Amino acid sequence: MKQINITMNRGVFNKAYLPFLDDETRTQIFFGGSSAGKSQFIIGQRTVLDLLKGKRNYLILRKIARTSRTSTFNQVRQVITDWGLAPYFRINLSEMVVTCITGTQALFEGLDNVEKIKSIVPKKGVITDIVIEEATETTQDDIAQLRKRLRGRAGVSKRIVLVFNPIRRTHWIFTEYFEGRFYDNDRIYQNDGLLIFRTTYKDNRFLELDDIAELENEENEYYYNVYTLGKWGVLGGLIFTNWTVEDLELDIARFDNIKNGLDFGYSDDPVAYNRIHYDKMRKRIYIFDELHEYGLTNPKIADVLKPIVGTEMVVCDSSEPKSIQELKDNGIKAVGAIKGKDSVNYGIQFLQQHEIIIDKRCQETINEFEQYQWKKLRTGETVDVPVDKNNHHIDDIRYAMESEMADAKKKVIPRMKFVGQMQEREVVEPDDVEMARAKLKEGEQLIEIWEQDKIVGFEILKPSGRRRGISIPGLGTR
């Protein structure tokens, strides 16, 4: 294979990583805090340079293949563009393959596609490097199987590289590689076959000041240790322990009580969607599909959801009425969740009373259930408030299950509250309330209808004060 000689200004790298540009240790672990530049160096910069040298073929993996496109695949593409190297590469967008003119390739896949991984062969030579992003999502067996792919003559040392944030000490990676070798305040461990290197935000000179401030001002003890200091976390006060992971592929056909929930996001937060089957009699919640993407506009969300939900209702975060309306305009039967005082904690309590089964392909949902916890301050004090992180899917699951929560209330206490100048009453759907408010005539009032601590509907009260039979959700006809 030929080699392309490119000289890069050392200023494009974070200094801490430079000693590892050509490191040939068989097993390499790059871990630590958030925004430390780990992935940028290992998956982006080192990969591109190695392809140009013409001796290494990369297999870059995440647990779920579809998440590679907007993460690892884009990271390599971005480095190629930023460094002005596009003439040296061909990028197959549909197959997620990057081919250098040297003949070497970077191939992107997911561990959910086992058969495809077994059959992956680069254009020339053999796979020399396997890199696993978010390696804490993997199992010990996943890594054992991947090691078997590093076979054949290559002319260079083969490497398997794990990149991750250290979520919890009970994880198998900690037991396998760290226990008895690497301690909290260590920076590096290296012997003939294992390299462990820890970095934090302080090693990334490209961070903005507000990024640094957010990390340094983190109040939660667990998140401060993991994402700011880059240390293995000790999880205490986990909110959910009533869940398991199973392969639900063969069960989906029998699911008939379907719920859909959606939490909006765009750049800083992802769009999060889940599809759920509720077995009310057995008190089981089956979570069997998910969407977790950044940068999706509302019309694009609708395009993705239509083939999945058809004419089914999708319960969305009601704080974005404009987004809900755009989904409606694009053919989705979207409604806003009816929140209210203490709705988060009530929703948590409802979910805790059920057995929750998550399909193994819903990795982002699994990640949230693993880490969602009560707030614990750095002083050690635990607060009865959930940490507002790792909760996008958990929020959308609460929205999806909201109609079932009303049935679970033992006592219903209706109350009314006048919220605006709004003759016989007419019922207004919650997601149409702003439109109704804007169209109020003189003497009319808009009324909130409550059940305990949540709004379940709205009504228009006309000046005559007449009351007719009105259907109030959860109460029947009055």
How many Å apart are CA 213 and CA 209, to the nearest integer? Answer: 6
How many Å apart are CA 184 and CA 195, to the nearest integer? Answer: 16
Q: What average pLDDT does the structure give for the chain?
A: 86
All structural domains of the chain, each given as residue ranges with its CATH number in brackets, are 10-209 (3.40.50.300), 243-408 (3.30.420.280), 414-477 (no CATH)
* 38 contacts: CB under 8 Å, gap ≥ 6: 30, 31, 32, 163, 199
- Least reliable range by pLDDT among 40-49, 92-101, 253-262, 342-351: 342-351
CA dihedral 176, 180, 182, 185 (to 10 degrees): 140
Q: What is the pLDDT of residues 419-468, one digit of tens each?
A: 444 344 445 454 455 566 566 676 666 665 655 445 566 666 666 654 33
SS3 state of residue 129: strand
- Least reliable range by pLDDT among 16-25, 68-77, 381-390: 381-390
The per-residue pLDDT for 214 is 93
- Least reliable range by pLDDT among 54-58, 203-207, 368-372: 368-372
Q: What is the mean pLDDT of residues 200-214?
A: 96
More confident residue, 435 or 369: 369
Sheet with 129-133: strands ordered across: 89-92, 97-100, 105-110, 58-62, 129-133, 159-164, 27-32, 194-199, 188-190
SS3 state of residue 401: coil
Q: What is the pLDDT of residues 247-260, one digit of tens each?
A: 999 999 999 999 99
The per-residue pLDDT for 342 is 80
| pTM score | 0.70
Q: What is the mean pLDDT of residues 65-86?
A: 94
Partnered with residue 27 across adjacent β-strands are 160, 194
Dump strand ranges (E) for 306-430.
Answer: 313-316, 333-336, 355-359, 374-376, 382-386, 414-420, 426-428
315 has a pLDDT exceeding 90: yes
How many Å apart are CA 478 and CA 474, to the nearest integer? Answer: 11
* 7 contacts: CB under 8 Å, gap ≥ 6: none
């809900």: which residue's tokens?
324
The per-residue pLDDT for 376 is 77
Tokens, residue 437: 């408010």
147 has a pLDDT exceeding 70: yes
Q: What is the pLDDT of residues 99-145, one digit of tens each?
A: 999 999 999 999 987 777 888 899 999 999 999 999 999 999 999 99
Quick one: pLDDT band at residue 188, thresholds 50, 70, 90?
very high
470 has a pLDDT exceeding 60: no
